A and B are shown apart, each in its own frame.
Chain A
Amino acid sequence: MTTKRFGQRVARVEDERFLRGRGRYVDDLAADALHVAVLRSPHAHARILDIDVDPVLDLDGVVAVYTYDDLSGAMAEPLPLLIPHPDLTQGRTQYALAKDQVNYVGEAIAMVVAVDRYVAEDAVGKITVSYEVLPPVVGLDAARAARDLVHDDVPGNLAATSTQATGDAMAAIARAPHRLALDLDVERSACTPLEGRGTVAKWDVDNGRLEVWSSTQTSTGVRAAIASKLGLDLAVVDVITPDVGGGFGVKVVHPWPEEVLVPMAAMALGRPVKFTEDRREHFVSAAHERAQQQHVEVGFDDDGRILGLDVEIWHDHGAYIPYGLIVPIITTTQLLGPYKPPVYKATFHSLYTNTVIVTPYRGAGRPQGVYAMERTMDAIAAYLGKDRTEVRSVNFIQPDEFPYDQGLIFQDGKPLVYDSGDFPQMLDKLKALVGWDEFPALREALRAEGRRVGIGIGCYVEGTGVGPYEGGHLQVETTGKVKVSTGLTTQGQGHQTVFAQIVADELGVRFEDVEVVTGDTRRMPYAVGTYASRAAVMSGSAIALAARSVRRKALELAADALEANVDDLEIADGVVSVRGAPGAQVALGTLAVLSNPLRYAFDEASKAATQFSVGDPDKVPVPEGTSPGLESRDFYSPPRSTFASGMHAVIVETDPDTAEITILKYAVVHDCGRLINPMIVEGQIHGGVAQGVGGALYERMAYDEHGQLQNASFMDFLMPYVTEVPHTIDIDHLETPSPLNPLGIKGAGEAGVIPSAAVFASAIEDAEGLTITRMPISPSELYDLRRTHAGSDPDPVTSPPDARTEPDRPPRGRHDQEDS
């Protein structure tokens, strides 16, 4: 009997090549390629008056230089606005090379192609651009004030205002026994994969084909964009995503300017061309996320039950808005988390600034939404003097209420309906895991030693596995090997392993005989991409369906070959056998031979399928409704997203003198439905938590007032090393299967990062007795916060944190509205 692979901690098949240095990342390809360097704007906001490329043209080793004037046709039009929305009335996107204005430091202005990157950068340094510098709009305060405009024709710097509501929230809040208002702030961070962006293109003049390798999260998207921009038939463009050194969202944006410029140059020059982004370029010319200002109004009863919730959000989307409104839509819808406020209204304003574009970063707006909701929960608990978990509990959607319709439209344009979950049980597990009920005693004990500790909690729901679809193709070769392809791409999630696990079980073959290819448009031209924690749900389901189709075909072929009834057959280890009839069996490889009626025998095995060897002379060899080959291509398209959920808790210690924040314990309870490979899911959670720690305590994009990013290096942008992450991350799983897909699975990729800002704010607030309204928070900021409060606050070490709820001392950023 074949060992069941689904649900097992199967070691990854990817690892062998990575561990031996045999991975193939974009920059490892095309050793003979010409190299590109890009001249990028040094100004956040300027008109381009003149570009002088003459000094470059005679440089040894320079092959070509391009500016906007060298672009034609669709290449001379702005890059696409990928996700239009009716509320996005002022959408602006950049040109592949700046036309007459630059709107952020790092915007591409000219591209040099040279024999190597050194020469290309020399050449970039010799291009002279004359600018008329304009006042930059940096940060949300400046964007909202709109004294200066990023785009002259966009009043108020406002790309869109969008509202969703389930009723009259302000009226419900006004009627509520208690009311609070909160003003909250989240700063910018970024995905920061270790491998930056990269693209290689070759024009195959003999075949008339364009081959492109890109470090992307969507091969099919890049392919369509290139075909459209270069005026090529889709059929002559191949896009292959090789190994990718991390994505976390940023690589779903497409086409990047270089992703269309490099193929354009490769075609024009008839030589392979390569772009490899360097680290500084990644900081200033890729994408960021997270920055929002939030105003929350909430009305609630004596138990902390929310009666009305009204949220207004100002979202900084940077200089252009190619990815539409996805991030703030996710913020405002996923803000609701596991809770069910009876009346909810959310409005967001998406604003232009003269900074790098904002597109989804792992969590994609959810961390901010969860932050708003969980800060509100903590504020309610503090106000009522209740335990924070109690207040959350009374607001939970109950297990018998699924499917639960939140009454809103989600990011995929479908109703926000949660499919399954069990929030009360999840909270019980979390409290046990972190020692919630025992914590007050611990805190008191440590206080006696002069130490400050605090515990925090953050709960979230994550819509995963968004449509529209993914496909799976599966072919059994005559050797019995199973070749699988799916179109979405891989950036370290172990797709080759988990999809092979699914196929091994569904088809009944050895795991080792399954080989999976992702992100290659030659193998699967129909696909969407890897984002929104959707790969396992979407491609996993599609591949399962394809495996089931192949299984049916194999059983029918075997029934003929073995003269048996399909119902009496079973498949194990790649062999179909008749139950209870030892010896009556046929290998899948043989069935693959038989599935393809042949005229010519090219080897021993294929003789079995030639015209004088096989088939009923009275029947056509390939009957109507069938096709040759033991293969199938199937697609999975879900009715709507499936909703994973989780709860995190952290215990932190803050240094009474230096305000340094140390993590003592981190606990995660996570529900992504059925687990395909718990080892990989836990790895995803570990990585998410580490990114969350970075986002909550260290990482920010330090723009100055001129729009210069002051920390565009790994020296200055503080990504966590091992020294900053929790020593252990305690994980417990809950499995509420999704009813929406054949495997009962939900997405897991983004989960770890989602509640971080919320959970750390909660814990630091608990430790300090100060209200936390801005994240991330550094030791200096915490220190300043202590000093600001020092005048009115007693020593928080000796005063219980509940003191902050006294109405006569409303903390900054949180307004008690009882008497308003």
Chain B
Amino acid sequence: MTSQPEILASDALHHVTFTVNGAAYEIDVPARRLLSDALRQDVGLTGTHVGCEHGVCGACTILMDGRPVRACLLFAVSVQGASLTTVEGLGEPGDRLGPVQQAFKECHGLQCGFCTPGFLTTITAGLRENPDPTEEEAREMIAGNLCRCTGYQNIVKSVLRAAEIRRESGGA
């Protein structure tokens, strides 16, 4: 056996505070704990899914201070003070679906639902930046997320429909 450096896994815990979907959380985690694991296991919000753990599939995409980030590529300790939004926080008051969620439902934009949270967060941020995308821009908006079920056809439609819903409701 070749000698390996002693594993860096220090058990030392780090105190981290942040908000998720408007609620404040304080957790104590090892330095190496991924944000995706912290959200799912320490915060207990399992809507954020882990599809590859190397930042390619986009299933774990969340919003950090409004911008889409891959939770599997961040350490939990690095989000001190941040404001995070996960799929659980995309709804409207009164337990109504948010515009992107509503559009996915109307357009059959999901099948197994595993990649869906990452698309919903990505598109939510994308439409804030570009509220009226062309079809080509809709494609670009989702071009960093993998889906194995839908062939993306209805996801592109969902982006365009979500933009419509946002406009109809006064552009959230």
Residue A721 interfacial (CB < 8 Å): yes
B54 touches A713 (CB 8 A): yes
Residue A20 interfacial (CB < 8 Å): yes
Which residue of A has the minimal Cβ distance to B111?
A: A492
Residue B84 interfacial (CB < 8 Å): no
Please classify the interface of chain B as helix (H, G, I), strand (E, B), loop, or mixed, using the class held by over half of its residues: loop
B148 touches A20 (CB 8 A): no
B115 touches A194 (CB 8 A): yes
Residue B81 interfacial (CB < 8 Å): no
> A215 to nearest B CB, angstroms?
10
A-B contact pairs, 5 of them (CB 8 A): A21-B47, A21-B86, A194-B115, A244-B112, A722-B142
A128 touches B1 (CB 8 A): yes
B50 touches A192 (CB 8 A): no
A20 touches B87 (CB 8 A): yes
A492 touches B149 (CB 8 A): yes
B152 touches A195 (CB 8 A): no
Interface centre among A15, A19, A60, A687 (most CB of B within 10 A): A19
A246 touches B105 (CB 8 A): no
Q: Which of A22-30, A95-103, A326-334, A339-347 forms contacts with chain B?
A: A22-30
4 A-B pairs with the lowest CB-CB distances in the bound complex, closest first: A21-B47, A492-B112, A245-B114, A18-B113
Residue A31 interfacial (CB < 8 Å): yes
In residues 15-56 of chain A, which contact B (Cβ within 8 Å)? Answer: 15-25, 27-28, 31, 52
B105 touches A725 (CB 8 A): no
List 4 other contacts, CB 8 Å, given A683-B154, A714-B52, A722-B139: A27-B46, A31-B41, A116-B41, A683-B108
Partner of B108, one of A191, A192, A679, A722: A679
Partner of A194, one of B32, B87, B147: B147
Which residue of B has the minimal Cβ distance to A491?
A: B112
A20 touches B113 (CB 8 A): no
> How many residues of chain B have a CB within 8 Å of chain A?
62
CA distance A116 to B34 in the complex (A): 13
A25-B114, A683-B108, A725-B151 are known contacts. Are A719 and B46 too (CB-CB below 8 A)?
Answer: no
Residue A193 interfacial (CB < 8 Å): yes
In residues 50-102 of chain B, which contact A (Cβ within 8 Å)? Answer: 50-54, 56-57, 59, 86-88, 90-91, 97, 101
Residues of A within 8 A of B56 (CB): 713-715
Residues of B within 8 A of A19 (CB): 87, 97, 101, 104-105, 110, 113, 116, 120
Which residue of B has the minimal Cβ distance to A362?
A: B148
> How many residues of chain A have a CB within 8 Å of chain B?
65
In residues 485-532 of chain A, which contact B (Cβ within 8 Å)? Answer: 491-494
Residue B143 interfacial (CB < 8 Å): yes
CA distance A626 to B40 in the complex (A): 49
In residues 681-730 of chain A, which contact B (Cβ within 8 Å)? Answer: 682-683, 686-691, 713-715, 719, 721-723, 725, 727-729
Residues of B with Cβ closer than 8 Å to A?
1, 4, 7, 9, 11, 30, 32-33, 37, 40-41, 44-54, 56-57, 59, 86-88, 90-91, 97, 101, 104-106, 108, 110-117, 120, 135, 139, 142-156
Residues of B within 8 A of A128 (CB): 1
A125 touches B149 (CB 8 A): no
> B168 to nearest A CB, angstroms?
18
Interface centre among A20, A116, A679, A714 (most CB of B within 10 A): A20
A243-B113, A494-B111 are known contacts. Are A195 and B105 too (CB-CB below 8 A)?
Answer: no
> B98 to nearest A CB, angstroms?
9
Interface centre among B115, B152, B153 (most CB of A within 10 A): B153
B146 touches A20 (CB 8 A): no
CA distance A503 to B9 in the complex (A): 55
Residue A793 interfacial (CB < 8 Å): no
Which residue of A has the minimal Cβ distance to B112?
A: A492
Which residue of A has the minimal Cβ distance to B97?
A: A19
Residues of A with Cβ closer than 8 Å to B?
11-12, 14-25, 27-28, 31, 52, 60, 116-119, 122, 125-126, 128, 191-195, 243-246, 248, 278-279, 491-494, 679-680, 682-683, 686-691, 713-715, 719, 721-723, 725, 727-729, 752
Residues of B within 8 A of A25 (CB): 46, 49, 114
A679-B108, A687-B150 are known contacts. Are A18 and B116 too (CB-CB below 8 A)?
Answer: yes
Which residue of B has the minimal Cβ distance to A731?
A: B153
B152 touches A690 (CB 8 A): yes
Which residue of A has the minimal Cβ distance to B139?
A: A722
CA distance A128 to B45 in the complex (A): 37
A722 touches B54 (CB 8 A): no
CA distance A435 to B50 in the complex (A): 43
Residues of B within 8 A of A27 (CB): 40, 46, 50
Partner of B9, one of A122, A690, A727: A122
CA distance A496 to B53 in the complex (A): 30
Residues of B within 8 A of A725 (CB): 151-153
CA distance A715 to B54 in the complex (A): 8
CA distance A17 to B90 in the complex (A): 13
A245 touches B112 (CB 8 A): yes
Residues of A within 8 A of B40 (CB): 27-28
A245 touches B113 (CB 8 A): yes
B154 touches A719 (CB 8 A): no
A686-B154, A723-B143 are known contacts. Are A246 and B148 too (CB-CB below 8 A)?
Answer: yes
CA distance A18 to B145 in the complex (A): 17
Partner of B151, one of A16, A20, A22, A690: A690
A118 touches B32 (CB 8 A): yes
CA distance A710 to B1 in the complex (A): 24
CA distance A687 to B57 in the complex (A): 16
A11 touches B105 (CB 8 A): yes
Residues of B within 8 A of A686 (CB): 150-154
Residues of B within 8 A of A691 (CB): 148, 151
CA distance A246 to B97 in the complex (A): 24
A722 touches B112 (CB 8 A): no
